[in-house]
């Protein structure tokens, strides 16, 4: 069967579940038997920067502009970078600010992604009801297929 999947979006957050999702995304790209090479987009969504109050004289810099960012970025993207490089899979790493569900869906539509790979935290029923599940929300609203990797 011909698989024309070319664009794979993987949600990255540095957790063991996202590392597993990263490995699965690379595996998908390698297994693509199409004459077209698959491309992986690794998307890290950071929470919105805290807003300044009138008491703040100098607002805090966004995380991506701090001294700790380079080391943190290396740790978060380590697995996907390593796997993609070892298997010669094109990789683009993106960092956005906002709500993870919104940013993942927005990026998938904008880039016409073929499949979203996302890790599942395995939260219990009560936590899912209280906080919601990013993977569930993405799966029910995505404009493409969604592959949920269990932790």
Averaged pLDDT in 10-residue chunks for the chain of 151 residues:
74 92 94 82 83 56 69 92 94 93 96 94 51 82 93 69
pLDDT of 32: 74
Which residue in 89, 87, 78, 101 sits closest to 19, CA to CA?
78
Is 98 part of any domain? yes
The per-residue pLDDT for 1 is 43
Position 128 in a domain: yes
How far apart are alpha carbons 80 and 14 in whole angstroms?
Answer: 10
* pLDDT at residue 3, rounded to an integer: 52
How is residue 113 written in tokens?
């992604």
Domain range enclosing 17: 7-49+60-150
Q: Identify whether 104 is part of a domain.
A: yes
Q: How many domains does one find in the chain?
A: 1
101 part of a folded domain: yes
Q: Is residue 2 part of a domain?
A: no
| Residue 55 is assigned to a structural domain of this protein | no
Q: How far apart are CA 135 and CA 100, in angstroms?
A: 10
pLDDT at residue 84, rounded to an integer: 95
Determine the Cα–Cα distance for residues 75 and 90; give it in Å rounded to an integer: 19
Is the residue at 114 inside a domain? yes
Q: How do the residues of the chain divide into helix, strand and coil, expressed in percent and rounded to 5?
A: 40, 20, 35
pLDDT at 130: 45
Q: Looking at residue 140, which CATH number applies to its domain?
A: 3.40.50.620
pLDDT of residue 131: 47
| Cα–Cα dist 114/146, whole Å | 9
**Tokens matching residue 9:** 């979006």
Question: Residue 50: what pLDDT?
Answer: 53
H or E element at residue 100: helix 100-111
SS3 12: strand
């Amino acid at each position: 069967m011909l698989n024309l999947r070319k664009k794979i979006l993987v949600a990255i957050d540095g957790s063991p579940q996202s590392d597993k999702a990263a490995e699965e995304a690379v595996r998908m790209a390698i297994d693509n038997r199409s004459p077209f090479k698959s491309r992986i987009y690794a998307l890290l969504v950071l929470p919105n920067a805290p807003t300044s109050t009138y008491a703040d004289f100098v607002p805090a810099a966004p995380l991506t502009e701090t001294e700790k960012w380079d080391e943190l970025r290396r740790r978060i993207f380590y697995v996907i970078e390593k796997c993609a490089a070892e298997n010669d899979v094109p990789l683009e790493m993106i960092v956005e600010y906002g709500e993870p569900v919104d940013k993942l869906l927005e990026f998938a539509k904008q880039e016409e992604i073929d499949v979203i790979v996302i890790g599942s935290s395995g939260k219990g029923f009560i936590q899912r009801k209280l906080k919601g599940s990013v993977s569930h929300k993405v799966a029910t609203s995505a404009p493409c297929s969604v592959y949920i990797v269990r932790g």
